[in-house]
């Protein structure tokens, strides 16, 4: 049997590196837009409150901390990457009760941001989110996602700018992330450069 037949899927990921000094004009342009249209200035570190907002489009950039916000964070992840716009009640309860899911481990600090938008039905939901993990020497961007039906509105760009600014504010000079082939071009606009590729294999349990 061919080795490839053992896997049901094969996905390539690319590790990308940003030297803060290499931030591009694209980043500067998007940051200026946020300053002019969202009253964005600097990131209030670990404040657990609204960072800025765009009243015309009824959305705001927020830091996510509470158990309910983390339920919405994982719902956003599920919708963006699996096409499942909800998570089970059991998983919601686990997230609400598991402090390690809500509060970052003391040895690995993280900063979770989201785009909170008022929907046509009047409900307010997290429609895009991302997490900045602060390592010893390098900050990494993780779990950047936008829910289905809310893409192509610039939300991921707003989250990218905010997480880059957070890393700069904390004194980091390097940032990393993992990108799919589709995302490489987007991250290159900010100044990220490909470092190496790796593959994620999913076993086909029928073989």
Domain that holds residue 110: 3-203
β-bridge pairing 174-180 and 193-203:
unpaired
- Cβ pair 108, 114 in contact under 8 A: no
pLDDT: which is higher, 26 or 64 = 26
For the stretch 57-116, pLDDT in tens is: 678 999 888 888 888 888 888 888 776 556 556 666 655 565 454 444 445 588 899 999
**The predicted structure's pLDDT at residue 18:** 98
- Cβ pair 70, 64 in contact under 8 A: yes
Q: How far apart are CA 191 and CA 144, in angstroms?
A: 17
**DSSP letters along 33-76, please?**
HHHHHH------TT--SEEEEETTTTEEEEE--SHHHHHHHHHH
Q: How far apart are CA 87 and CA 78, in angstroms?
A: 7
Predicted confidence (pLDDT) at residue 44 exceeds the cutoff of 80? no
For the stretch 133-185, pLDDT in tens is: 999 999 999 999 999 888 999 999 999 999 999 999 999 999 999 998 888 99
Q: How far apart are CA 32 and CA 171, in angstroms?
A: 21
pTM (predicted TM-score)? 0.80
* Distance from chain centroid for Cα 95: 18
**The predicted structure's pLDDT at residue 72:** 86
Number of domains in the chain: 1
Q: Which residues of 128-145 are buried (b: 16+ CB within 10 A; e: fewer)?
A: bbbbbbbeeeebbbebbb
| Residues in Cβ contact with 192 at an 8 Å cutoff, skipping those fewer than 6 apart | 16, 17, 18, 175, 177, 179
Range with the lowest mean pLDDT among 23-27, 53-57, 86-90?
A: 86-90
Distances (CA, A) of 96 to 75, 102, 144: 13, 8, 21
What token pair was written down for 97?
Answer: 């009760």
CATH of the domain at 148: 3.40.630.30
Helices (H) and strands (E) counted in the chain, each on its own, are 6, 8
**The predicted structure's pLDDT at residue 74:** 84
SS3 call for 99? helix
**The predicted structure's pLDDT at residue 3:** 47
């Amino acid at each position: 049997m061919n080795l490839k037949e053992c896997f049901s899927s094969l996905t390539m990921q690319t590790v990308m590196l940003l030297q803060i000094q290499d931030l591009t004009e694209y980043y500067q342009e998007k940051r200026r837009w946020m300053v002019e249209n969202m009253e964005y200035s600097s990131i209030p570190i670990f404040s657990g409150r609204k960072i800025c907002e765009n009243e015309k489009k009824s959305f705001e950039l927020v830091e996510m901390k509470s158990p309910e916000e983390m339920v919405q964070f994982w719902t956003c992840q599920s919708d963006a990457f699996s096409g499942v716009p909800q998570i089970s009640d059991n998983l919601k309860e686990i997230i609400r009760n598991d402090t390690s899911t809500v509060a970052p481990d003391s040895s690995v600090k993280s900063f979770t941001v989201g785009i909170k938008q008022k929907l046509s039905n009047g409900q307010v939901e997290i429609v895009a989110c991302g997490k900045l993990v602060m390592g010893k020497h390098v900050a990494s961007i993780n779990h950047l996602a936008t829910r289905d039906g809310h893409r192509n509105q610039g939300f991921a760009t707003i989250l990218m700018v905010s997480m880059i600014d957070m890393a700069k504010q904390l004194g980091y000079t390097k940032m990393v992330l993992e990108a799919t082939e589709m995302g490489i071009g987007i991250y290159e606009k900010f100044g990220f450069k490909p470092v190496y590729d790796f593959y994620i294999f999913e076993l086909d349990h029928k073989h």
